[in-house]
Amino acid sequence: MSKKTLLISQYFVPDINAAAFRVYDLYNALEKLDYDITVITAYPQKSAVEKINETNNIYRLKLEKINKKSFLNYLKNYFGFMLKSISHSLFFLRKAKYEYVIVTSPPLFVALGGYIISFFKKSKFILDIRDIWPDSAVAAGMLKREGLLYWFSKKIERFLYKKADIILCVSKPMKEYIYNESKHENIQILYNGISPESLQGIKKITDKESRNSKITVGYAGNIGIVQNLDLILKAAQSLPPELFEFVIIGDGIERNRLEKEVEKQGVKNVLFTGPLTKGETFNKLSQTDVLFFSLSDDPTFEKTIPSKLFDYLLTNKFIITSIKGEGKEILLELGCALFFNPNDAESLIKALAKYKNNKENYDRVSKGNRDFVVENYNREDQFKNFFIDLR
């Protein structure tokens, strides 16, 4: 008999962010294991498509989109989903009984809503942690560590760790952190990685045609505060546009400001494509030479592995990055990356120059990236292997 499961996530496909892709892989894995799964989510906050395929087991709640940098605006959005998900579960789905309630966080308050639902439904509470919150909000400059809201959020964080029957996380340092905070004995690492759909998309891409000596640097993902994309603008201003160009794919609260800054400074070698589907993103990245990503320099980000890393590895492209922690260890093992100081644009410029001067060798050592990530980080398989043991 299939196990009834309620999956709660503020983000779900066709949202085009890391949370939506991870939860979608979890959803597919559970369906293939014949779990009887119901999803409560929001209408897409960031999407490259207009049409949504409606299904009977996916309930979408309407929220106001986040369109400001104000943290209060974020809280309104997060609390709105938390309250609506509780209401929908306890009233609209009041007769439904679930063996498991699975909730993914951040947002932290969504996880709190998931616990409340599991309490009233008398379900086992599985907490999936993708990022450490509220510390990541502090690292993003959205919350002050000495503030009352941070203190309150830390209380909620530790409460949720202790109430969870099972905690899932995405890296070894994150598991260690959660254990130190909670002494929880059932913390499992289910890495971010690639999905079968990603593999289908990657089959369609072709390598960049070598028409000239210009180096195209690609970035794909959220255009937010912690992604440190100001470094690209600073580097682009110092690099000859006939030798280097930057392509930024995606959307986020910093996109409008960055586009205005590019126009104001007269930068000619930075292009914003806007949001694209995952398949379109892979195709666009395949036409670049080297891939960029960075995070703000904060120890909090060393506890996770950006999901972007695994998507980048699928393209067999060399990577220039500032990440640290377990993600950096993976890249060092592969030998397919150059690292720069996230606080120093000159450090990025030197890494780009080094890549250009050694392009043939760096491109060659990156050709095994896809095989490595497919063999070691199939996320859907990880979910299936874990949840089949709960049957």
Asked whether residue 102 carries a pLDDT value surpassing 90, the answer given is yes
Asked whether residue 385 carries a pLDDT value surpassing 80, the answer given is yes
Asked whether residue 73 carries a pLDDT value surpassing 90, the answer given is no
- The string of DSSP codes covering 346-372 is HHHHHHHHHHHHTHHHHHHHTTTHHHH
Same structural domain, 186 and 310: no
Same structural domain, 67 and 103: yes
- The confidence score (pLDDT) of residue 76 equals 79
Which range has the worst mean pLDDT, 26-30, 133-137, 323-327, 341-345?
133-137
Residues 126, 165: Cα–Cα separation, whole Å: 6
Same structural domain, 38 and 136: yes
Confidence tier at 384 by pLDDT (50, 70, 90): very high
- The confidence score (pLDDT) of residue 141 equals 77
Range of the domain at 77: 4-190
Percentage of the chain modeled with pLDDT above 90 = 67
pLDDT digits (tens, 9 = 90+) for 199-217: 765 655 555 555 457 899 9
Residues 308-325 have a mean pLDDT of 94
Same structural domain, 71 and 215: no
Q: Is residue 388 part of a domain?
A: no
Same structural domain, 315 and 209: yes
Length of the chain: 391
- The confidence score (pLDDT) of residue 22 equals 92
Residues 87, 91: Cα–Cα separation, whole Å: 6
What rounded mean pLDDT belongs to the chain? 89
Q: Is residue 381 part of a domain?
A: no
Q: Is residue 45 part of a domain?
A: yes
Q: Is the dihedral of CA 65, 69, 70, 75 positive or negative?
A: positive
Same structural domain, 159 and 295: no
Asked whether residue 343 carries a pLDDT value surpassing 60, the answer given is yes
pLDDT digits (tens, 9 = 90+) for 241-281: 999 999 999 998 899 999 999 999 999 999 999 998 888 88
Residue where the block lists tokens 């993103």? 281
Residues 313, 310: Cα–Cα separation, whole Å: 5
Would you say 85 and 62 are in contact if contact means Cβ atoms under 8 Å apart? no
According to DSSP, residue 97 is labeled: -
Residues 33, 385: Cα–Cα separation, whole Å: 10
Same structural domain, 260 and 183: no
pTM above 0.95, yes or no: no
Percentage of the chain modeled with pLDDT above 70 = 91
Q: Is residue 383 part of a domain?
A: no
Would you say 334 and 316 are in contact if contact means Cβ atoms under 8 Å apart? no
- The string of DSSP codes covering 162-192 is HH-SEEEESSHHHHHHHHHHH--S-EEE---
Same structural domain, 154 and 232: no
Pull the structure tokens for residue 233: 């603008």
Q: Is residue 391 part of a domain?
A: no
Q: What is the CATH number of the domain that holds 17?
A: 3.40.50.2000
Which of these, 353, 356, 351, 326, lies nearest to 337 by C-alpha position?
Answer: 351
Residue 259 CB partners (closer than 8 Å, separation 6+): 272
Residues 23, 20: Cα–Cα separation, whole Å: 5
pLDDT digits (tens, 9 = 90+) for 218-232: 999 989 888 999 999
Same structural domain, 263 and 175: no
